[in-house]
């Protein structure tokens, strides 16, 4: 027994003070007023001290989770219960309304503590993975409603039904009967903790059996003392070590403590062993840089270097970085070995240099490819232009080579060459255009027709381009219309006298006076001819969607 007490010194002292509080409680029933009051105050002080000590230990031992918040809130409820009981029996014993509302206030901790225990059990079941989820807090809503029902009993008498006038009601035994709300509150006090115990028992199924044994042992002792008080001490008016409120408070506290020590709730323990087992150099000091915790791997640094590392990392050598941070009561220091990091950085620098050279070569290659692509595109365009105008250029060359200045038809041949050259010039311009740089509204077709008409005048034909100048024809339609127009001009040039050409909404309209009707060659677009007297009317329509308009 002594060995166990030495191994659990804090627990042994706690139990000793709890037994001492029970002795003081028994001595409060002596008939010596001074001794009774002294024992009551000592009993109250011990209870408050034990609760405060336990709450502080919970704050230090548990991680900052919702479970710790729930347990500390339950501890505040336990303190409130003790304070209400003390204030009622020692301060307002003769005040009717004050005594009544203090009795109502009993239900605040007796309703909240069970639900906080249930919320802690729910959190223990869910674990730390869902720490951000607070769905169990919904259980506070019915608890708050029950508390409001108890505190407003003067208005509805659902909890206590006074046998006399409410103004004289002091909640003494025999002056009231229980309402349905009181039974509901007692059912809450019993069912909610049982629900929490069921959750804890289900959690312990995959844990060592001794955890469940500890919980059942504490629960059995608690129930036994409650039954002993209810069926033996009170009926026979025997001296009692503890009253029912104290048994409820410290019984629930014992259940919480078993959950903590069994690690059903995340628990900080064995600080020295934890730090000693770390493979990384870590040091915790007080404000004076005196060592408090240190790992097996020491940090060899001066006090000045330690203090400087709190503001910014300090390099003890090329590869060792010392870091520090301020804690609540001191400082924490640790070192980071950057040997591998520096090695990788050097390797990356070499790789980056190589890649930089490769990127420069790739950039030059891309520029050359881009330049070649541009030249290839230009070459393709020029080859297309050359292929398109070559037949006309061959005809011009043949005509000029077959005639001389002294020949009679030299002027006529030269004029024909000018007409063919005008077409070649304008056709080259059209082929240099593309669908992207051709404006939607443009006059390219009109300018080509106008230039051809101007050179027709050199052949003795009175020709003119008249009417609307701008069209919205696509580039393919412009080329087809101009090629067809040129074919018609070449066919009628020997017999043509007058000609006018104009643009329509869907093509070209021509009116000419000629010495007869010429046979038209195969043209890109069909030509509609109509003759009235000596005037020939021709219409060339562009294609839309693959069909001629």
Convert the pLDDT of each residue in 111-152 to its tens digit: 999 999 988 888 887 765 544 556 788 888 999 999 999 999
Whether the pLDDT of residue 502 is over 70: the answer is: yes
- At 549, the pLDDT band (50, 70, 90 cuts) reads low
> Could you give all domains of the chain from N- to C-terminal order, each with its CATH number?
10-269 (1.20.1070), 274-337 (no CATH), 403-548 (3.30.565)
Least confident of 214-223, 291-300, 332-341, 389-398: 389-398
pLDDT tens-digit profile of 66-82? Answer: 888 899 999 999 999 88
Reported pTM:
0.53
**Strands 527-532 vs 320-326: parallel, antiparallel or unpaired:** unpaired
Give the DSSP letter string of 148-189. HHHHTHHHH-SSEEESS-GGG----TTSEEE-HHHHHHHHHH
Residue 529 has pLDDT above 60, yes or no: yes
pLDDT above 70 for 513: yes
For 451-460, write each residue's pLDDT tens digit: 788 878 877 7
Q: Which residue has the higher pLDDT, 398 or 172?
A: 172
Q: How confident is the model at residue 4 (pLDDT cuts 50, 70, 90)?
A: very low
Question: Is residue 492 within 8 Å of residue 513, measured between CB atoms?
Answer: no
Mean pLDDT of 488-507: 84
3-state secondary structure 238-268: CCCCCCHHHHHHHHHHHHHHHHHHCCCCCEC
**pLDDT on residue 1:** 44
Helix (H, G, I), strand (E, B) or coil at 511: strand
Residue 548 has pLDDT above 60, yes or no: no
């Amino acid at each position: 027994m002594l060995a166990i007490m030495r191994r659990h010194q804090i627990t042994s002292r706690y139990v000793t003070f709890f037994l001492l509080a029970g002795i003081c409680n028994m001595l409060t029933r002596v008939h010596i007023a001074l001794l009774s009051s002294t024992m009551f105050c000592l009993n109250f002080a011990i209870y408050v001290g034990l609760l405060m000590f336990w709450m502080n230990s919970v704050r230090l031992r548990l991680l900052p989770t919702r479970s710790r918040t729930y347990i500390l809130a339950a501890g505040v409820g336990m303190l409130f219960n003790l304070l209400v009981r003390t204030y009622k029996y020692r301060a307002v014993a003769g005040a009717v309304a004050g005594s009544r509302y203090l009795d109502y206030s009993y239900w605040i901790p007796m309703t909240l503590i069970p639900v906080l225990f249930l919320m802690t059990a729910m959190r223990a079941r869910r674990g730390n993975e869902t720490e951000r989820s607070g769905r169990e807090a919904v259980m506070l809503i019915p608890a708050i409603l029950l508390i409001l029902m108890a505190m407003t009993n003067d208005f509805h008498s659902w909890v206590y039904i006074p046998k006399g006038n409410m103004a004289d009601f002091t909640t003494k035994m025999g002056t009231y009967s229980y309402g349905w709300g009181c039974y509901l509150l007692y059912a809450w006090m019993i069912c909610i903790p049982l629900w929490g115990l069921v959750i804890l028992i289900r959690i312990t199924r995959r844990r060592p059996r001794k955890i469940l044994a500890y919980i059942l042992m504490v629960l059995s002792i608690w129930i036994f003392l409650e039954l002993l008080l209810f069926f033996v001490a009170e009926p026979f008016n025997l001296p009692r070590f503890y009253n029912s409120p104290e048994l409820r408070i410290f019984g629930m506290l014992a259940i919480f403590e078993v959950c903590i020590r069994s690690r059903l709730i995340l628990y900080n323990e064995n600080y020295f062993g934890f730090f000693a087992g770390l493979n990384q150099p870590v040091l915790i000091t007080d404000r004076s840089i005196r060592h408090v915790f240190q790992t097996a791997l020491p940090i060899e640094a001066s006090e000045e270097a330690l203090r400087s590392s709190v503001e910014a990392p300090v390099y003890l050598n090329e590869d060792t970085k010392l870091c520090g941070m301020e804690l609540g009561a001191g400082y924490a220091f640790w070192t980071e070995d950057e040997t591998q990091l520096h090695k990788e950085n050097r390797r990356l620098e070499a790789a980056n240099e190589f890649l930089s050279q490769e990127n420069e070569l790739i950039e030059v290659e891309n520029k050359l490819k881009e330049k070649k692509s541009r030249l290839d595109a230009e070459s393709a365009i020029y080859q297309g232009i050359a292929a398109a105008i070559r037949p006309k250029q061959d005809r011009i060359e043949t005509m000029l080579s077959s005639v001389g200045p002294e020949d009679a038809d030299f002027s006529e041949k030269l004029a024909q060459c000018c007409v063919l050259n005008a077409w070649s010039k304008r056709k080259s311009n059209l082929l240099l255009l593309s669908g992207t740089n051709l404006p939607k509204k443009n006059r390219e077709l009109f300018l080509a027709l106008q230039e051809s008409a101007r050179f027709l005048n050199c052949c003795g034909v009175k020709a003119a381009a008249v009417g609307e100048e701008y069209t919205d024809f696509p580039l393919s339609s412009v080329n087809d219309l101009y090629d067809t127009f040129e074919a018609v001009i070449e066919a009628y040039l020997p017999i043509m006298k007058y000609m006018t050409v104009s643009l329509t909404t869907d093509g070209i309209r021509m009116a000419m006076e000629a010495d007869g009707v010429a046979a038209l060659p195969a043209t890109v677009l069909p030509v509609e001819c109509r003759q009235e007297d000596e005037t020939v009317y021709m219409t060339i329509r562009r294609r839309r969607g693959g069909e001629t308009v």
